[in-house]
Each structure stands twice: as structure tokens, then as C-alpha cells.
Structure 1
Amino acid sequence: MSDEAPPTMKEYKPSWINDLLVALLFLTRIPLKINMNFSMAAVGSSARCFPLVGLVVGGISGGAFFALNLLGLPVFVCATIAVGLQILITGALHEDAIGDVADGFGGGATKDKKLEIMRDSRVGTYAVVTLIIAIVLKITSIGSMYPEVMALPAIISAAVASRGVVAWGMYLMPSARKDGLGASAGKPPLMSVVAALIFTLVIPVALMGPFAASAALLGSFVSAGLMGWIAHRQIGGQTGDVLGSLQQVSEITFLVIAAGLFSAGFSA
């Protein structure tokens, strides 16, 4: 993304198609070739499409779970492959973020030290333990859903809701740094985060039913809010790693609650 666009490239202009392409480029490793030049400021404008990226990521991983389950593979094998696919599609972007936050918040004594550790490419004990717990919780939550067919809408809904949370994190939380992702992307327009919220609410309700979706969404929002509060106390706001942590925490909470509700027979 250079400041001077090649003559053959079009300049970014906000539109649903352009914003979805920017969001996909930013949040996934899906190989897209687009004839468009844009800066990090476009990421803030594209926040309205973050939940739609979740629809793509969740649709691919949830579809894989569903297909493999139909083939008769053990349910926890299906769940492991589904989670692995999400990590592959996103390039472990969010997992890397929550690992950095765990190392920074756990190992730093001051704000500056925490931010320094979060930028360090080395992986510490806090990160390793956090990632193990996070991945295990996802796999066991998906694998324990009954009937197994309910895992598909739950995976998609969790992916949608957790990325909608990222849009609101960008809007509500100040940047903890003067540089970096949180600062360069900027604060999304209000209407963008409102659109993201609509997708975040409507898609899970349509897929899971109002009761299960509402309970999972509430838990997802509460956990993200708690993560945001911790980040504000630790470093005074958000960074790209904090935003990725919001996604992970809210997605895990969503899946855990959905697994409990579906296993207890609540699906509407």
C-alpha cells in the first residue's frame, strides 16, 4: 500500500464492494488481486464489512465441519480441522494478537514495557499457555455441540459477531500508541459501526434462533467489554493486538455459550 498509486490503479472510494475487499485483505490471507490503491485509513471505513468477513471465514470452516461430519469423521476431528481452517484463512492474525497481549499484560510492569513486549516477535510462556487454552476451548466447544448440525450456524455466527466486536472496539477505544494499526486505521465512521452492529445481531439470530443467539451475543459482548476494560487499565486503550484479542475472547465466549445451550436443547 504505497502513497503514490500506479497509473493503472484506481483510488479507493468507499462502497460496499470496495470496503468488503479491503476488509478481506486486512482480516484474512485470502489471495485477492484488486486494482485499487488504499491507505490504512480505508480500514476504518471498511469496518462495516468486518462481520461479512466473519461470514466468509465461518462459512468455509463451518462448511468443512459439516461436510466432514457427514462423511463420518469423529466430531472432535471435524472440530479441529474447522478451527485449523480458520487459522489458515486468517494467517493466525487474531491468535498472534491474543498471544502478544498475554505476554505484554502478563510480563510488563509499566505501560511502556507492556507495549514493548507486545511488539516483540518472540513468544513467551503467557502467550503459549493462552493460545493452548483458546484453541482447546474452541475445539471442545464445537465438538461438544449436540446435535452436531448446530455447529455450522454456531461457527458462522461466532465468526460474524466477534468481528463486529472489532469494529466497535476501534470506535469506542482510544489508540494506546501514536503509531501502529490502531492509530493509522483511525476511528471508523459512526454509520460504519452501526452497519456492523446490524450484521452482528441479525445474522446470528437468523442462523441460530433468537434465544440462543441473544444469549451467546450477550456473553460475547460482555467478555469483549471486559477485555477492553482490562486493556484500558493496562495500556490506556487499544492496539492492533488488543483488537485481535477482542475478536478471540468474544468468539470463544460465543462458542462456549452456544455449546451449552444446544447441548441443553435450546436452539430457538
Structure 2
Amino acid sequence: YRTILCFLVFQTFIDQHILAKDKLKLEFRAELVNQGFTSKLLNLLALNRKGSFMGADEGRAKAEGLAQAVSWEQPESVSSFIQAVDSALHEDQREPTPTPVQLCDQLVKGQTCEDAFNFLYGLEYIQPRYVLRWEGKDLGMLSPGERGTLLLVFYLLVDKSDLPLVIDQPEGNLDNHTVAKVLVDCIREARKRRQVFIVTHNPNLAVVCDADQVVHADMDKENGNTVAYTTGSLENPAISKYVTDVLEGTRWAFGVRGAKYEVGD
């Protein structure tokens, strides 16, 4: 039930948040998959006994071949699979003309025909798998930075708390394009209901997010590493200079980049 509830929470989140569904292109879906059928079946069988699954390698290949042909979300396909396995357990299908065999003669010591049937027809080897995709990529294919960003996106959009939130350099391991495309809008959404404090060296987060207040920290290494703080809005000339010097690499560097990109005007 917890798994189903988790699925519903994620699906509701994606359906209700335009940012998640349209701009971030998040997908969350459930599918049925085979989980351990081959190994569990072979653990029931003595693979040195005559039958379709005789031989360790041959038996594994036979079981995997039967399982690979199944569409686990289709009842008809699963039903055909069960019938095929049942037949393979009651026939030696290694030869062109199958010959009858007794299931009880193929089982390892301590296992019964009832155990084998409970396993086959109990369908416990069919399990749900929940797949979260970001722009078409499964969660397992995302980089550490992308995974961290995805977690932060969920936290920013889902958490209903109005307590202040402190985020330390969320741009870590991310390119500027991803920061501007993904994080900026999510932070803007979160700040509608709570204060958001961000420690950053990224101009997209400080400037494009339109920070209400910027805090510049300056360490004087020649004077005992004392730290001085200057605060103010982006409209403040002194703060604007700090932003361009620290985040943009000076106004001169910013201007050079603008000219190179042909967006200086």
C-alpha cells in the first residue's frame, strides 16, 4: 500500500504542476515486470533429472526463453506463459517429440508438487516497477548532479511548509543551461510561499531569479581572515558591482561575452 500511495503522490504532483509536466517533462508510470522467475523456478528443480529444464545452462536458457516472450501487463500473455511452463514441467521438450515426465521426479529434496504449483500460479514473480523519467531518461541514467536537481525540484514544488529554506550551491555539477531552464522557475515558485536563501556562484540563480536581497561576503586574508558582509538589492549600484565582479567575472568580462554572443545591444 505504501508503494501504491507513493505512486499516487508522484502522479498527482506531475499532473497538478505545469512546471513538472510541461516544462520539466517529468514522467512517472508503473509497469509489471518479471522479478526472479528463472532463479526461483530453477531452485525448485533438480537440474540433473530428466525434463525440459535438465542441465544448469540448458535449464536457465529454457526458463529465460519462456519468460522473455511474455508481455507481463497483458493477462492473455501471462496465461499463455503459465500454460507453457506447466507443459514444460510435465514434458521433456528437449527433443522434437516431447515425452511425458513426472513433475515430482524433477523436484529437489524438500519441495513438493504443491510448492511448484503455488510458485507458478501464485504469480509472485510478477512485480510492479515504477519508472521516473526526466526528459525521456530513466532515473538510473541521470548524472549525480541531475539526480540532485530532480530531488530539489520535488522538494521546492511539493513541500508545503512556509519555513525559510536554505540551499547551498544547488548549481553543483550542473551546466548553466540546466540551471536557467530547470531551477530558476522552481525557485521562483517556491518563493511565493516561503523565504529561500541560496548560497551560489551562479548568476542565473542570483540575477535571473530576481533576488530580493543579495548578501556579499568578503574575506580579508591579510587581516586574520575576517569576513565582512554587504547586503542590498540588485538595484543598489554597490551590490550590482559585487554581482558582476563575483558572479560574472567583472563587467568587462560580461561585456566581452555579450559582444562574442552578439547580444551586446
Q: Mark yes or no: TM-score above 0.5.
A: no
Greater helix proportion? 1
Q: Which has the larger radius of gyration?
A: 2
Greater strand proportion? 2
- TM-score, scaled to structure 2: 0.21
- TM-score, scaled to structure 1: 0.21
